[in-house]
Each structure stands twice: as structure tokens, then as C-alpha cells.
Amino acid sequence: MSIACKGLGHTYSPNTPMSFVALKDINLSIDDTKITAIIGATGSGKSTLIQHLNALLLPTEGTLEICGRVIEAGVKPKSLKSLRKQVGLVFQFPEYQLFEETVLDDVAFGPKNFGVNKDDAEASARYCLQLVGIQPSDYNKSPLELSGGQKRRAAIAGILALDPSILVLDEPTAGLDPAGVKRLMKLFYNYNRQHKKGVLMVTHDMEQVLNFCDDVVVLDHGQVLSYTSVKEFFLDTTLLNQLALPLPPVVDLIERLRKAGFAVKTDSLELDAVLEAVRRELKR
Amino acid sequence: MNSFMLGRYLPLDAFLHKRDPRIKILCMIFFLVAVFMDTGYLGYLFLGILAILALVLSKLSPAIVFKAMRPMIMMLGFLLVINVLILQTGEPLFTLGPLTIYSGALLQTFYIAVRLILMITITTVLTVTTKPIDLTLGIEDLLAPFAILHFNPHTIAMILTLALRFIPTLLEETERIRKAQASRGVDLEEGSLKEKIMAIVSLIVPLFVASFQRAEDLADAMEARGYQPNRKRTRYRTLKIGFYDWLLLFVGLAVMVIYIWWSIVR
Ligand SMILES: Nc1ncnc2c1ncn2[C@@H]1O[C@H](COP(=O)(O)OP(=O)(O)O)[C@@H](O)[C@H]1O
Ligand SMILES: [Mg+2]
């Protein structure tokens, strides 16, 4: 199955002097069995796009098909709750949404809202807290007593506990320490590979895109600039130059060699493969 | 968002936008005093004309005033009912069962409605044509004489500025938290009473936590930059009173004086 946007557009405050076109004519068919990165400059519409996926925002133009549902501009969709369970959305800085008395209660809050009974909700809360790496001794603390990184992880556990079939994350690792970032990225990777669930992730970190993602959507001023596999993306010199991003070391190496007049012929971005290609080129 | 017209600045750059905030605040007070003078229909007619003039001079459409009025319509309806039940002055107009409606009741409600419309129009004109920051500067200056009473007008102005500054931020924050909780299955519209209460708690608690956090950060940032409420500060923005400002002040003052005199001799 896939997530299909057809001519999707979103205008904030339409028909007012403040109206602002944040997305226009988005046509995408995202494979929801993969990990897809959504990248683009600040203000390019990434957050706006992903809020459509669980119908927090509704398209003002076009349609969106997700999890067997069709959301059409101008048609008020019915009972969005089932969609919100299937598409788990983790907002940017999700730590602000913690409110229950204990960490465990807060994580169990989501499943309970979707009709899971108390015991099962707590069981899945424990499971998810353990997944994100929160110690059992912290389960009964107030969420406000946790450190910044722990809060973030608890909040992510709160969405994982819904057991969504598509997990959508808005800059989940922004402002975390390197060890915490790595841990979370591995968690999302496993969520996709072991549990066979789709993951969509907004990120600014090209290392994450290279090491953990399958496909990349590039947004620019509310439009799709490109949608390719990660490999194609990092080998597309023209696009990379246009985006002027800080590149991961391997890609940077290829780029620098190419600029120095040394063409590396490779279709893999593994360091060994790239070095092998360099060696081959040197022998010629 | 659009229903929130009362107290919003619109950058239209009309005649009244360029006037000094202190003068505008004073003129609003003069106008309000005039509204409360009892001068009969004719007096209200002239005030109505003045209010329309103010709308024209701020390039505002009456639709905006109507929007600002909307929350008041309920109140007016309520007032009408109370007046009809209580007031028994004037001619009896007609009888509904045990209830006789007197002309005085309708007249009284009409008076109050006219006054309310005039007041709301003129305060809307003030807030629409004056940036919040200028408004607080104006208030600070106008409160300056109270400094003799060991009352620091600057502190009040700073509190007002900060409060105004954070209204949009809080609205944004509320919207974000609402969406985040909606993603966790919170539904403000459906559900039992218990679920609804839980839904509201899930909004309010994070909002409070975030607001306190923000207030603390702000206090730290202000202190780090050496802010001390009781010290004398210079201003980046200085207000200047020009010819048109004096003219406006004169007209405003004249209107008030005439209305006070009119209500006495009447
Ligand atoms: N609630 C809103 N009302 C009006 N404009 C908005 C709103 N939210 C975002 N925008 C605007 O839409 C554009 C895209 O925003 P966003 O999707 O948050 O970008 P990104 O996540 O890529 O940084 C920005 O220019 C932003 O100012
Ligand atoms: Mg964003």
C-alpha cells in the first residue's frame, strides 16, 4: 500500500488578507513499507505536509489517500479517530505534550483514548518505554522530573504505544545528544524493519538520511523538488549543489574528488565500495 | 482567529494610524465621557457621525466593527429581556399574557445598545490604528503623573507589553498542543463528560507548564540583559506630537466640553 497525494495543496487562513499558500500541487506516492525522509529548508512546508497524514490539517486542494482512506479537499471527513490510531504522528518537540501524573500513565494515555483497556494500555506503555530506553525506576516519576532527552523519549513512547501502522516524525532528534540521536534512529529503523511498519521522518541531518532512510522527498517552497531513493539522491550532483546542504563524509569525498577532476564511478555509497571505485580509477 | 477582532492592530496606514497614541487614548476617553452624557437623540446622532468619521479616517469597513460587536449581541439580548421584565415606565405598548411591555423598556435598551455600539466602535478604532507597543508607551506616558504616589507606570507598561506580546504565542502554543493531543486520540467534540474533562486537562496542563517555563526563561533573559524595573531607562521609540495631533486633541476636548455643557443645560 502507499500514501498517495494527488494535486494536494494547503492554504493557511484562506480568503483573508493573511492567506498563505504553504503547499501546492503535491503529487507523491510514498511506499509505506519503507523509511522515507522529508527534507527541505525551514518554511518549505514539511510540517504542514505531515500534518495532513493523520488529518490534523485537511487539504484545501486535491486528495490524499492513506491507509485505505480518501481525504478530499472540501469534504469533511468522518470519524478521524481510526486514522489517528493508524498514523502515529510525533510532533516537533513532543515533550511539551506530557501532562499525566506519572510517565507510565502518560504513555498509556494514548492507547486508552483509543479504547484499549487499562491493563493492556499499561502493558504496551511498559513495552514502549523499555524500547525507547527509559529505566523502570523512572516509570512512576512525574514527566516533569525527567531530563530533556528522557522527556522526548517518553513522548515518542506515547505515540509508539498506539502501535500505529505508519509512524510519522517531525524532526524527532532535534536538540538531542549524539548518543540519544543514535538510539532513537536505531529504534525507528527497527520499527520499520522488524515490525514492517512505514516510517516517515522530517530531518535536517543528511547522515541520518544516508544511514537510515530508503527514500527522500525534497520540498522547496511548498512544492516537491524531487522524490528518489537515498542512493539516487546522494549521487545527483546537480540537485545536491542546488540544495547546498552539509553532506555526509562519503558523499563529500565523492563530490570533492569529482570537483578536482577525478570521476568516481560508483552506484553504492558504502565507504568500501567507494574506495574500491577510487582504486579502480587509479589503476587505469 | 478572524472572530477575534476586538483589540487587534491592522496595519492600514490611514490618517488615524499616524497619530500619537497618547492623543488617541485621550480622545477615546473624551469620546467615552461624551457618550455617557445624557443629550438625547440628537447628541447620539452627532456622536454616531463622529464615530463614522473615525472609521473613515482609519480606513475601516463597518464590517470589522460588526465583527467586534458580535460577542455583545448575546449580552444585548439578555439586557432586553431584563429591561422588559423590570422597567415599567412610559406607555404600555402591548400585553403578552401576564406581561405588559412598556415603551420605556424598549427605549432604555435602545439607549444602551447605541452607547455600546459607540463605545465598541471607538475602542476598536483605537486598537486597530495603534500598535500594541505604541499603546503601552502611550499608557505609560499618561500614567506618568502617578509616579508621585510611588507608583511605577513603567512597570505597568512593561507588564502590558509582555502580556500583549505573548497572546499570539499562547494561541499558537494552544493550537500545537491541541494537535499533539489529537494525535493521541483526544477528541474535544465527542466522548463522555469524563473524557471531555480529561481532554481539557490534557490541554491545560501542558499549556501551564509551557507558560511558566516561558515566563521563567523570559525573566532570566531580561535579568541577563540588566533589566531593573525601578531604574530609569531611555527609549528607543520616542513619541512626537505634531500639528494634526494637537488638532485631534482640540477636537476631542471640544466635543467632550460641549457634551458636558449640553447635558447640563438640557
Ligand atoms: N498556522 C499557520 N498559519 C499561517 N501560516 C503558517 C502556519 N503554519 C505554518 N505556516 C507557514 O507555512 C510555511 C510552511 O511551514 P511549515 O510547514 O511549518 O514549514 P517547515 O516545517 O518546512 O519548516 C511557513 O512559511 C510558515 O510560516
Ligand atoms: Mg517544521
Q: Shortest Cα distance from A15 to chain B (angstroms)?
A: 11
Residue pair A247/A255 in contact by the 8 Å Cβ criterion:
yes
- pLDDT reported for residue A20: 93
pLDDT tens-digit map of A190-239:
999 998 899 999 999 999 999 999 999 999 999 999 999 999 999 888 89
Question: C-alpha angle B156/B160/B161, rounded to 5°?
Answer: 115
Eight-class DSSP state of A219: E
The percent helix, strand, coil of chain B (3-state, each to 5) is 75, 5, 25
**Does pLDDT of B106 surpass 60?**
yes
Within the 117-176 window of chain B, which residues sit less than 8 Å (CB to CB) from chain A? 173, 176
Q: What is the mean pLDDT of residues B35-63?
A: 90
| Cα–Cα distance for residue pair A51/A268, rounded to 1 Å | 33
Return the percentage of chain B with pLDDT > 70, whole number.
97
Give B76 or A206, the one with higher predicted confidence.
Answer: A206
Across A83-92, A245-254, B234-243, least confident range: B234-243
Q: Shortest Cα distance from A239 to chain B (angstroms)?
A: 33
List residues bridging with B237 in a β-sheet: none
What is the sign of the dihedral through the CA atoms of A74, A78, A80 and A86? negative
- pLDDT reported for residue A29: 95
**Does pLDDT of B251 surpass 60?**
yes
pLDDT tens-digit map of A134-173:
999 999 999 999 998 899 999 999 999 999 999 999 999 9
Confidence of residue B180 (pLDDT cuts 50, 70, 90): very high
CA nearest to B63, candidates B112, B123, B3, B136? B3
- pLDDT reported for residue B7: 58
List residues bridging with A184 in a β-sheet: none
Q: What is the mean pLDDT of residues A50-77?
A: 93
Residue type, A59: P
Confidence of residue B2 (pLDDT cuts 50, 70, 90): very low
- pLDDT reported for residue B1: 39
Q: Is B61 at the interface with chain A, CB within 8 A?
A: no
**Does pLDDT of B230 surpass 60?**
yes
User: Ligand 1 pocket, A51 CB below 6 A?
Assistant: no
- pLDDT reported for residue A156: 95
**Does pLDDT of A284 surpass 80?**
no
A175 Rama sector, left if φ>0, alpha if ψ -120 to 50, beta otherwise: left
What residues contact residue A160 under an 8 Å CB cut-off, 6+ apart? A88, A128, A131, A132, A167, A191
- pLDDT reported for residue B220: 95
Residue nearest to atom 26 of ligand 1 (CA): A43
User: Ligand 1 pocket, A203 CB below 6 A?
Assistant: no
Q: Shortest Cα distance from B11 to chain A (angstroms)?
A: 11
Chain A interface, best mutation among B172, B177, B183, by max A CB count within 10 A: B183
Give A65 or B84, the one with higher predicted confidence.
Answer: A65
ipTM score: 0.89
pLDDT tens-digit map of A9-42:
999 988 877 789 999 999 999 999 999 999 999 9
**Does pLDDT of A84 surpass 90?**
yes
Q: What is the mean pLDDT of residues B169-188?
A: 90
Phi, psi of A171, rounded to the nearest 5 degrees: 40, 60
**Does pLDDT of A253 surpass 60?**
yes
Query: Per the confidence metrics, is the pTM higher than 0.80?
Result: no
SS3 B78: helix
**Does pLDDT of A99 surpass 60?**
yes
- pLDDT reported for residue A246: 87
Q: Which residues surround ligand 2, an ion (CB under 5 A)?
A: A 47
| Cα–Cα distance for residue pair A213/B209, rounded to 1 Å | 35
Give A280 or A124, the one with higher predicted confidence.
Answer: A124
Tell me the CA–centroid distance for residue A222 and ligand 1, in Å.
Answer: 9
Confidence of residue A55 (pLDDT cuts 50, 70, 90): very high
User: Which among A91, A109, A159 is the nearest to B179, CB-wise?
Assistant: A91
Nearest CA in chain B to A82: B185
- pLDDT reported for residue A43: 94
User: Which among A84, A90, A98 is the nearest to B206, CB-wise?
Assistant: A98
Any idea which residue has 541520518 for its cell? A208
**Does pLDDT of B125 surpass 80?**
yes
Number of helices (H) and strands (E), helices first, in chain A?
A: 11, 10
What's the mean per-residue pLDDT of chain A? 92
Alpha helices in chain A (DSSP H): 46-53, 81-86, 103-113, 118-132, 148-160, 178-193, 206-212, 230-235, 237-243, 249-259, 271-283
Burial status of residue A65 (CB atoms within 10 A of its CB: 0-12, 13-18, 19 or more):
middle
Give A205 or B189, the one with higher predicted confidence.
Answer: A205
Phi, psi of A222, rounded to the nearest 5 degrees: 80, 10
Q: What is the mean pLDDT of residues A177-202?
A: 93
Confidence of residue A56 (pLDDT cuts 50, 70, 90): very high
| Cα–Cα distance for residue pair A55/A121, rounded to 1 Å | 24
CA nearest to A140, candidates A107, A103, A112? A103
Chain B interface, best mutation among A11, A57, A113, A144, by max B CB count within 10 A: A113
List residues bridging with A30 in a β-sheet: A3
| Cα–Cα distance for residue pair B206/B177, rounded to 1 Å | 7
Q: What is the mean pLDDT of residues A250-275?
A: 86
**Does pLDDT of B3 surpass 50?**
no
Return the percentage of chain B with pLDDT > 90, whole number.
36
Nearest CA in chain A to B191: A113
- Chain B residue numbers touching A96 (CB-CB < 8 A): 173, 176-177, 180, 206, 209-210
CA nearest to B90, candidates B103, B107, B71, B108? B103
CA atoms within 13 A on the CB side of B100: 9
**Does pLDDT of B30 surpass 90?**
yes
| Cα–Cα distance for residue pair B127/B122, rounded to 1 Å | 9
Strands A215-220 and A61-66: unpaired
Put simply, the answer to whether B185 touches A98 (Cβ < 8 Å) is no
